[in-house]
Chain A
Amino acid sequence: MLESGSIVPYDGNGNGASQENHSGSLSSGYMVRHGFLRTPRIQISWGTGNHLLVSYLPYSEEQNEAGKIMQVQLGPADEEGQDGLESRRLAASSLSFFIELQSRKRHYADGSLEAGSTSIWWENVLKYSRDISKMLGSSRRPISHYRSDTTKASKTSAIMRAIWDMLEIFYVDKDAEAWFPERLVDWVVTHGPVLSKKDSSLTCKLVDIKWRLATRQFPEEESDYWDGMASALAVGWFDFVVTFLRMHGSYRHDQIDKRQTENGLVEAVAVLVSKMPRLRPSLPAASPGVTYSFKPEFAKEWERWRIQVTKLDRSSFWNECYNQKTIHGLKKLLAILQGNVEVLAGSTSHWLELLTAQYLHVRPFAVATEGLVALASTCKELKRTSTSEELEELILAIFGDNTEVVIAKCVTLFEPWMMAHMIELLTAKSVHVENLLRKERDVHGGISLEELYRLSYAQSLASHPLTWQLAPVYLAACPGQGLGMLQTLVLKLPLEDERGLALKALDLCRIYDLQGIAASICRKVGVHSWKHGRIGAGIVWLQRAGDKRLLSALSDQLLASVSAGSTWGHVQTFEQIQGLVELLGMEFQATDGLSILHRYRNFKSAMQNIWDLRSKDADRQKLNGAGRQAVDCLFELLKTGITPKRLWISILHDTVELLEWPAQVLLNAGETNTLLNSLQDLRLTKLWNGVDNLELSGPNVDRVRLALATNLGRSFLQT
């Protein structure tokens, strides 16, 4: 069964996954209404997670028709039409329980479970199971969904919870083996509604009777009254039976004298029901019955109680009761209490109710699964019900401990969430199941089923921007291929425009030690920022990536912008360049572009210092020192021979101020000659290609030339 089963729930054959997009009917798969008369060309692409993007393009001869791209969400879609709100709630709520159990598992494996926590593994799983069950019980999915249509039901939290609880009884809770019939009663009480359609559900039937008969003076006149009570008694809803019995008309003050015997019989039955021995550790508050944990003691009490039931059944008081409906009704209740199979069959509607009644009234001493499948099959034959066949097969497989079928059915019926989480229940106490689920198999290169289902669930989480962050937790629990999928997931995140998302992704890389991916993220954001005008951010991210090659290319571009007259792209002012050069830092000085940028920045800073000192009226000595420092920076910049010549004219223009320094000559004859040679070089080599906006003849250049000549003369005179 398992070998042919679907491994990732895209199977359109199962009730769960079959769906339609827009409208239309398709027995298997997904239907997309593209609206083209002639079959269009198709191009496909996978979106994030389980989204498939299908381009429908008309053929070129149909030029007037426009194509469209449809998004198909594969796997079980959310029925409630709230864009998967409930599935997301489920995913978010169950995460902490999963993490806690995995943490306990690690501690359990290395024997370091903290003091006070249980050392028996299945008890840890039991706690996990109950937490999840409680969470499933708080589902806000509209109840009408699972009542009105059982084919859609498989995906609802109600059915998931019902199956979850049943798995807990059979696969986790070892203590439940001792009081199995009562566990079955509790299950039917809680999950009865998922078994039937709305109108035929026992719960609905009883609630309806209660509302209808509550105001009647003599409800015992109605056949519903007795039938309802018989059904409730059969499946063990004793509180309902006792309450209803005491609504009997003979309890009325005006009736008590006339119907004393009748009332006595009713009360006797009510007392017997209230005193019924129950083999279970405890009962919910206000529930009738007397509990026993010790089986021999229960057996003794149950025999004694049965004798009382028989005694009442054979009592002569019945002859003194004249209300035939009461006699008939009470006798039916007593027959149930005595385990009359025919009456039990007549009083139940679903085969699981009949099975529960059989265990409660006929085989109260039965242990766990003894003969369960055979009895269940008999009950099933007796009761034809409307529960989906897949669900019934699943329940029978759980009864029969047929784990392979349980897995195969759950894959078909439920969303990937169920598979990823229920594996813990299945493996809680059975070595056989553990081998089945945790052994590496010949699938996708040798991963276990447990891992396969976690990967599948993580992929479905990746489909939504609000749940992708949960996926790494499940991927981390996949020793084989989890890390690979996590890397793929992070690399596909749309980080470029989202700084917050990039930081989250980096955080993930830190937690899961993905250094290569972290560098890639930083490069992505850095390059995107750089190319979209956020130059400072680009530098910071690329430094974070530690990518020398990119930083070098980036500083070369920055230099090119400076040498083109600082008018490139987004860098407009020297202050901007200065800030960017600061950001680039010193560690990459080995690259030419960055080295020149640093020297240019130093020269400009020295010039700025002179202007600052002048504005503050600083003393002459200080000013001369600053001037000399600027000259030093100038020659640092020019002597390397790597400063692009197109940058020289703007540098020489800045130098005029130094050449015309009052009262003192800052540049000596040799230095001035070097600058003159530079200017001559520019003219001779005619390297002005690409910098047409700078002119070699004009007042600016003339001024430079004049300043140089004047300074040369002054320097001669000074020496």
Chain B
Amino acid sequence: MGELIRLEAGVEHTSWNSSRTKMAAGMSDGSVHIYEPLKGTNSDYSCSNRWKAHEVAVAKLVWAPSEYGDVIACCSKDGTMSIWEEIEDAEKRDVWQLCARFADTKAPVLDLQFANCASGLKLVAAGADAHLRVYEATDVLELKHWQLQAEFANAADVREKLERVSCTDASVCWRPATDPIQQQVFVVGFQTDSPQHSIAKVWEFGEAHQRWHLVAELSSPEHDYGRINHVSWAPNIGRPYELIAVSSSNSLSIWSMDIPSGPGQRPAVKLLGYFTDHQPGEVVQAEWDMSGMTLASAGADGVVRLWQSNLKGRWEEKSRVVGS
């Protein structure tokens, strides 16, 4: 317990790999730093690699599923996106090499997430134009070539599609799978002034029609959900329903979503908890633990709150981590 890593100045974003053995930090000068423990230890983290990935600050970093090796994707504050992987060079050193750089995206990329789908490695990118772009690696081993498979607006109907939206931030989260192959379902939330586009939406790829369609909208009339900062889909180890947490500028909301019994059916969505405990109200991020039983939410107040459902199914704050 205690300090695990002392970072260098200028860290914009941190991201851990799935087994929590490596941590990538995106820096304000556009470089990426990789931290890992010294060989044979579980602690003693140090920076093992660093390189310049972008010309401007790295905004977000994500790790690919470990079945594809040590691979990260990052997007910078100029909206470009790149993919890097660790390999061993001829001198037997671990080095990070560029796999692909996406310079031609139509709108700046705000968030991105990998998924290990049955057809291969996919990457969904949320753009500042409130559009989602799904890419797939054409080779499972060489991640140099990526194909844009789908591009669609995060809109429920034609009227929304026609609306011109500009977003300042976005958050995407695939539905976590307990088996290695992921179903093509994700939740996305955009940070924008348009109220309709500020609703977190769940998208699913329909195999029958080979296109992405909107499955659910996480919204209810009784509350104001503010501007979305982060969405997080809980791991499901056997629940008959899914859990999604939405962190926003004024609240943390926990949603349950039934697992649809058949294709084309819209799952029932229910608000399980709406919390404004973080002061002054802004929740920047929420993450589920490995069982999906505990949710940790980070507030702009510097406090991490831990939430659990009681035996009646009501979500409550159970503890908190306060920094000083």
Contacts and interface: CB of A to CB of B under 8 A. Distances in A.
Interface string B159-192: 0000000000000000000111100000000000
Interface stretch (B122-130, B207-215, B291-299): B291-299
A533 B5 contact: no
Interface of A: 2-8, 10-13, 17, 21-22, 24, 26, 28-34, 36, 39-58, 60, 63-74, 77, 441-447, 449, 455-456, 459, 462, 465, 480-481, 483-485, 487-489, 491-496, 516-517, 519-520, 523-524, 527-528, 530-533, 549-550, 553-554, 557, 569-570
B73 interface: no
A22 B215 CA distance: 46
A531 B296 contact: no
24 contacts: A4-B310, A10-B306, A10-B318, A11-B319, A34-B323, A42-B298, A52-B321, A55-B14, A60-B12, A66-B6, A72-B1, A74-B306, A77-B1, A442-B311, A445-B241, A485-B237, A485-B290, A488-B178, A488-B235, A491-B178, A516-B180, A523-B180, A524-B66, A532-B88
B302 interface: yes
Nearest to B19: A494
**A-B pairs with lowest CB-CB distance, top 10:** A484-B237, A445-B239, A481-B238, A520-B180, A39-B302, A494-B19, A12-B319, A533-B88, A553-B141, A42-B298
Contacts of A447: 238
A411 B6 CA distance: 35
Contacts of B318: 6, 8, 10-12
B11 interface: yes
Given A8-B293, A70-B3, A494-B21, A29 B178 contact: no
Nearest to A2: B311
Contacts of A459: 289-291, 293
A524 B18 CA distance: 12
Nearest to B321: A30
Nearest to B287: A44
A462 B180 contact: no
B247 to A, nearest CB: 11
Contact of B181 (A12, A52, A456, A516): A516
A69 B235 CA distance: 24
B84 interface: no
Nearest to B85: A531
Interface string B120-150: 0000000000000000000111100000000
Given A50-B289, A553-B141, 8 more contacts: A10-B308, A29-B319, A447-B238, A488-B291, A495-B19, A496-B19, A523-B180, A530-B141
Contacts of A74: 294, 306, 319
A16 to B, nearest CB: 12
A650 B15 CA distance: 47
Contact of B289 (A13, A46, A496): A46
A24 B324 contact: yes
Nearest to B313: A442
B1 A484 contact: no
B101 interface: no
Contacts of B28: 60, 63
A711 to B, nearest CB: 39
B311 A496 contact: no
B7 A67 contact: yes
A190 B324 CA distance: 43
B158 interface: no
Contacts of B222: none
A54 B88 contact: no
A531 B140 CA distance: 12
Nearest to B288: A46
Nearest to B37: A494
Contacts of A465: 42
Interface string B222-238: 00000000000001111
Contacts of B288: 46
A46 B294 CA distance: 10
A46 B313 contact: no
B320 interface: yes
Interface centre among A50, A55, A441, A516 (most CB of B within 10 A): A55
A582 B227 CA distance: 58
B298 to A, nearest CB: 4
Contacts of A554: 141
B67 to A, nearest CB: 5
Contacts of B87: 531-532
B304 to A, nearest CB: 6
A21 B298 CA distance: 18
A452 to B, nearest CB: 8
A441 B7 contact: no
A4 B294 CA distance: 16
A435 to B, nearest CB: 15
A531 B324 CA distance: 43
B141 A557 contact: yes
